[in-house]
Structure 1
Amino acid sequence: MSTDPSTPRLEEVNRPESFRAELERLRAEATGTPGGDPSPAGGTTDRTGGTGLDLVVRGERILVEGAFGPWEVGVRGEQVVAIEPLGTGLAAGRVIELAADEVLVPGLVDTHVHVNEPGRTEWEGFATATRAAAAGGVTTILDMPLNSIPSTVTPEALELKRLVAGPQAHVDVGFWGGAVPGNRDQLAALHGAGAFGFKCFLLHSGVDEFPPLTPEDLEDYLREVAGFGGLMIVHAEDSRAIDLAPHCEGDRYERFLASRPRGAENLAIAVVIERARWTGARAHVLHLSSSDALPMVASAKADGVDLTVETCPHYLTLTAEDVPAGATAYKCCPPIREESNRELLWQGLLDGTIDYIASDHSPSTPEMKGVAHGDFGQAWGGVASVQVQLPVVWTEARRRGIPLEQVIAWMATKPAARVGLSSRKGAIGVGLDADLVVLAPDATFTVDAAALQHRHAVTPYDGRELTGVVRRTLLRGAPTGDTPHGRLLSPG
């Protein structure tokens, strides 16, 4: 990522007093009285008074307990309350009959989304990001703690972000806290305030107000987090290895790839594994791109280290060999690597070494992305994909003979379980939220970046033909649309 030279320094933006006036204003707007406690967005309402069903979905292919079958799904209020064999005849005021080419799957749970609001809403904001998520069958996102100003590194900053997000959320939203030098004593309070865990970097994050931890810091912070059962999620690239790599400039992608070598990732992942082993903490490696790291991840898991790993749609579907000159929409950190590397990532998913898939949706303005100049060294690193991630992954998985059931497990069930949401999200089941997606898995479309719902029309998937069309998204039983009705989530 490139540093934004206009960004205020850490000490100027991450202290509560620096944004106190805005926090008080939003508190007042949310409650009607200055200084009051805000209510969560949305809420659970039984619209039938406890009798009957609000909605029934019927179809030959509904994903229940990991397999497609002929079912009827009954929804009361915001939850699934009945799943019966097709033909049972469940009745409700609203009925959705799946077409012959449609399936019903749970809403995706994307645990890696950079919304950037407040502070950098010109890059992306909650209204646009969550609208795009809903259009792509994503019903839950977890927002990253950096690129917003202030960073989510204090309870007050988390409260501010919740107040900003609540009125705009088209899907359910949770929040990661940040782990940066100097805020170790804030982590327990952040956890208590509703943070799902804590993100840290082991090299410059791209923005000065979110500085990295050293390996020694990481060990101390993991020990702190282990004390209350929290989860540390790590951007794992070694800073010295990056500093010593060739400098990147110009429009040749191979120069950018050389500037972010696999070795940098491998070294940092080894640091995460050993510190998690020593401290007993729960750890998660973000956006794995280096297949070289898979054997040591597998070894750590076999040893009982509480470690999970995600990868991203772009690492599974794009290859370094195919990135055009100057196509900075493809730039991300770690980088998209070679085809041979991609093949091993798929194998890592299939054998369980990699646990799940998350988008790492990280947009910026076209100017920052370098659309005009095509210089990989100057462009912001991040792929915009929250709306198209399901068809992107499904298109490639289908080509490989991997069933849709497995894709949904990687993009909904497993991430929900790791972040503590499996009692509400990630599957179609009695007692779970009625987050339902009507998908035409064999229908095709061509991506038009200008028609996507996220803020800027920049994505490496522009013009790509994909398979899998999201025809309808229901959030807790209600159709997503122009009126936001997302809820703010906390773990547990």
Structure 2
Amino acid sequence: MSMSLTYIKNGNVITRYGLIKGGSILISDERIAAIVKGEIPVQADIVIDADSKLILPGAIDVHPHIDDPNFFEGREDFETGTRSAIVGGVTSMVEMPTWNPVLEKSVIENKIDRGKRMSYIDFKLHAGNVREILDESVVNELEKLGVMSYKTFTCDPYLCTDYVIHENFRKYADSGIIFMFHAENNEILNGVKKEFDDKKMKSARYHHLTRPSIAEVEAVNRILLLAEKTNAQIYFVHISLGESVRLINEAKTRNVKVKLETCPHYLYFTDKDMERLGPYLKVNPPVRTEDDRKALINYLNAGVVDIIASDHYPTFKDEREPGWEDMDRVRSGLPGIGTLYQSIINLMLNNILKPEVVVKVLSENPAEIFKISDRKGGIAVGKDADLVILDPKREVRVTPEKFLIHSGWTPLDGRVFKGYIEKVILRGEVVVEDYEIKARKPAKYIGTALS
């Protein structure tokens, strides 16, 4: 039986090595078979003329909270979350635990089953939230299912003690496990929050002030020290501060095994936006100063920040409104998987982020760090043909309707972004055209053991 061939011609292909003008891509059996400058003499079943548009790899979001049926209760699931993802150019994800523990074989298997039935994109899973010393038998079971990354908190509501963190580091330093950290100092957070409560300053407008920078900086520094002493492999999620990145970068120069991510909201918003957006910008850690925003951009372009991820967290719009009066009545978190790709492409087309950096932080680094680079991450021969064809001369206005945001809102609502997504291709098949889903390709679970 002959394999189907798809031929994309006349595109400007962005790779980690630069731009291939007038490039062509040949796709065979879901994978990229050839990439050349110029045309390929081939008779293909499907021919796509990119018409000098940009061709980029689809994004891999390693931090969306999508699947927790007993907690989200209709706010989000694999179907609604990944419909938004694929429309916006995210073609794979590593899904993050939310409230209920994801630390047992049966829980992982159930999530895999739901994902295969419901997801519009390929996926892998993180485990979490760790609060005890991990049992070796459980770790071995999860490894067989391709789960090797464990979310851990240094603060409420899933506080893990330093003793447990240190013991897990010692026990699993050579195992290949990645310990992922939400890093904020719990005592500082609780103490400062009480001060604001005592002053009756409870509006979400003050949320950023209740979680001061020192809480993140101290926790990052502490976890770096524990990792350095034990040789553990660690990863910091949603880093918000230039000072935190500086500490992590210094640790990298000492060969500490550490990676980090930041998120679009730290690149687009600052503390000055809290008065205007209040509960619609309540996120942990909070948005920071303009100096921090600029520092994160600089560290991204310098190759210090490894990944940009969404930290997608769904709540409905009517659930946000009480936060104007009382921040404790609204959960922290923002919808973001649908706008992740578009927001970062906009920074690229405005010459704020380098094209090669965007390819690395959205596609290549996520695949390498979370061990799916055999099939995913970047445009290269042998990789899955997960591609986005984008017109850099056109613009798109962000609305919840355009990006299929199930919760019905986004802090980016109304923004006009450079770059218009003409096609999204998942494993060689065009599944989205002009922000409309045209086909649904069965999702694959891309855990290491099942790739």
In the superposition, the TM-score normalised over structure 1's length comes to 0.84
Identity, in percent, stands at 25
Question: Are 2:401 and 1:453 equivalent residues in the alignment?
Answer: no
Q: Which residue of 1 aligns with 2:244?
A: 293
Q: Which residue of 1 aligns with 2:446?
A: 489
Change over 3 Å in CA distance of 1:331–1:372 after alignment to 2? closer
The CA RMSD over aligned residues, in Å, is 2.0
Q: Which residue of 1 aligns with 2:170?
A: 223
Question: Are 2:6 and 1:58 equivalent residues in the alignment?
Answer: no
Counterparts of 1:311 and 1:472, CA distance in 2: 27
CA contact (8 A) 2:97 2:129 kept: no
Deviation at 1:474, TM superposition (A): 1.0
Counterparts of 1:401 and 1:110, CA distance in 2: 21
SS at match of 1:458: coil
Question: Are 2:333 and 1:386 equivalent residues in the alignment?
Answer: no
Counterparts of 2:403 and 2:101, CA distance in 1: 27
Deviation at 1:252, TM superposition (A): 5.6
Counterparts of 1:272 and 1:372, CA distance in 2: 32
Counterparts of 1:86 and 1:183, CA distance in 2: 56
Question: Are 2:190 and 1:243 equivalent residues in the alignment?
Answer: yes
Q: Which residue of 1 aligns with 2:234?
A: 283
Question: Are 2:94 and 1:128 equivalent residues in the alignment?
Answer: no
Q: After alignment, is 268-277 or 481-490 more displaced?
A: 481-490
SS at match of 2:389: strand
Counterparts of 1:123 and 1:98, CA distance in 2: 37
CA contact (8 A) 1:125 1:455 kept: no
Counterparts of 2:314 and 2:447, CA distance in 1: 25
Question: Are 2:162 and 1:198 equivalent residues in the alignment?
Answer: no
Listed as ranges, the matches of 1:66-465 within 5 Å are 66-69=17-20, 70-100=22-52, 102-119=53-70, 120-147=72-99, 150-182=100-132, 184-185=134-135, 186-205=138-157, 211-246=158-193, 247=196, 249-251=201-203, 253=205, 255-325=206-276, 327-370=278-321, 373=324, 375-465=326-416
Deviation at 1:250, TM superposition (A): 3.8
Q: Could you report, residue by residue, the CA deviation over 1:176-218 in whole angstroms, capped at 9, with x for unpaired residues?
A: 011423461033322222214111111114xxxxx32111111
CA contact (8 A) 1:103 1:440 kept: yes
Deviation at 1:256, TM superposition (A): 1.0
SS at match of 1:145: coil
Change over 3 Å in CA distance of 1:152–1:189 after alignment to 2? same
Change over 3 Å in CA distance of 1:106–1:374 after alignment to 2? farther
Q: After alignment, is 234-243 or 446-455 more displaced?
A: 446-455
CA contact (8 A) 1:191 1:197 kept: no
Deviation at 1:365, TM superposition (A): 2.6
Counterparts of 1:232 and 1:366, CA distance in 2: 33
SS at match of 1:157: helix
Q: Could you report, residue by residue, the CA deviation over 1:350-385 in whole angstroms, capped at 9, with x for unpaired residues?
A: 223221211111112334333685643422111111
> How many pairs are equivalent?
434
Change over 3 Å in CA distance of 1:299–1:64 after alignment to 2? closer
Change over 3 Å in CA distance of 1:82–1:195 after alignment to 2? same
Change over 3 Å in CA distance of 1:281–1:128 after alignment to 2? same
Query: Aligned letter for 1:344?
Result: A
Query: Aligned letter for 1:486?
Result: A
Deviation at 1:225, TM superposition (A): 2.7
Counterparts of 1:410 and 1:90, CA distance in 2: 33
Deviation at 1:393, TM superposition (A): 2.0
Q: Which residue of 2 aligns with 1:9?
A: none
Deviation at 1:403, TM superposition (A): 3.1
Query: Aligned letter for 2:116?
Result: G
Change over 3 Å in CA distance of 1:478–1:371 after alignment to 2? farther
SS at match of 2:151: strand
SS at match of 2:330: coil
Q: Could you report, residue by residue, the CA deviation over 1:114-165 in whole angstroms, capped at 9, with x for unpaired residues?
A: 0033322412110011111111111111111223xx4211111111111111
Change over 3 Å in CA distance of 1:372–1:407 after alignment to 2? same
Counterparts of 1:371 and 1:488, CA distance in 2: 38
CA contact (8 A) 1:187 1:225 kept: no
In the superposition, the TM-score normalised over structure 2's length comes to 0.91
Counterparts of 2:387 and 2:85, CA distance in 1: 13
Q: Which residue of 2 aligns with 1:45?
A: none
CA contact (8 A) 1:326 1:376 kept: no
> What runs of 5+ residues in structure 1 fail to find an aligned partner?
1-48, 206-210
Deviation at 1:90, TM superposition (A): 2.7
Counterparts of 1:62 and 1:400, CA distance in 2: 17
Q: Which residue of 2 aligns with 1:44?
A: none
CA contact (8 A) 1:434 1:474 kept: yes
Counterparts of 1:375 and 1:420, CA distance in 2: 42
> What runs of 5+ residues in structure 2 fail to find an aligned partner?
432-436
CA contact (8 A) 1:395 1:467 kept: yes
Q: Could you report, residue by residue, the CA deviation over 1:466-490 in whole angstroms, capped at 9, with x for unpaired residues?
A: 1122221111111223535111111
Deviation at 1:417, TM superposition (A): 1.2
